[in-house]
Amino acid sequence: MDAVETAFAKINLALHVRARESDGYHAIETLFAFAEDGDRLSLTAEPGLSVDGPFATALAGGDNLVTRAAEGFARLCGRPLEGGFHLEKNLPVAAGIGGGSADAAAALRLLCRRHGIDPADRRVQELAASLGADVPACLVSRPMRGEGRGDRLVPVQGLRSGQPLLLVNPMRPLATGPVFAHWDGIDRGPLDEGDPIAAARAGRNDLEIPAIAILPVIGEILAFLSARPGILLARMSGSGATCFALFEGTEERDAAAEAVRADHGDWWLLRTRLR
């Protein structure tokens, strides 16, 4: 049995905020896509959660969605779980690319495999939604259109697996709550149906403006990426601060990555591809 899962980095090709609901949540329309790379989560014989990797220290002493996912799964199964997890934390935290949501989803996939439960089981889906709005999409980790809080999902066709992708983060965390709080409340219209790249390019991320107001370097990253040759789409993912760029080819992506390294060595980057 494979006891290791990748917690694939999530990107929002577009994110339209349509309304602020009375319960404080926001109604959104988004296009989820996923990178081939991310954190790595494995089952262990020892109970609890151990963490290493480049961003391990950012999780020290905090609540972790992997543990909450495991506790929820134990209640779902009606018996205590054996063993624990080891997390290789490769992605920055509070970065708009799934992070804890992707880790929790990876934990659910591992536990479903161990116990012979289909991740599409309604109980697992409900548990995923209870852990966070992005967890149901991360559980699937395939292109999806999300509505409601982002947890009403419809599969999307038309994205090219293997499309060269570059992720860039200024190495400064950005909490989701303040970004949504700075949204101006204006509904700028729906997200197009049909071809996802065309819909994304015609669309927007309504959280970019409030995120840039809090962390202006995001605007600098977007301008830098948008000026690269071979660019198809450059945008902030989720509530930031990570930005992504889709490129026509690997050479163009790699050239952009080298330009980032040369001019902004303090920014984090990941050369990857769409899953």
Q: Is 134 a catalytic residue?
A: yes
Q: Please list, residue by residue across 240-263, b when 16 or more beta carbons sit within 10 angstroms of its beta carbon and e when fewer do.
A: bbbbbbbbeeeebbeebbeebeee
Query: Which of 41, 31, 16 is CA-nearest to residue 137?
Result: 31
Residue found under tokens 């709080």: 181
How far apart CA 107 and CA 138 sit, in angstroms, is 11
The pair of structure tokens assigned to 167 is 């992720």
Selecting among 37, 103, 134, 206, the annotated active-site residue is: 134
How far apart CA 205 and CA 55 sit, in angstroms, is 26
Query: Which of 258, 3, 28, 246 is CA-nearest to residue 144?
Result: 28
Question: What is the bridge-based pairing of β-strands 84-88 and 48-52?
Answer: parallel
The pair of structure tokens assigned to 169 is 């983060």
Selecting among 10, 89, 151, 206, the annotated active-site residue is: 10
How far apart CA 110 and CA 91 sit, in angstroms, is 19
Q: Is 10 a catalytic residue?
A: yes
Annotated catalytic sites, by residue? 10, 134
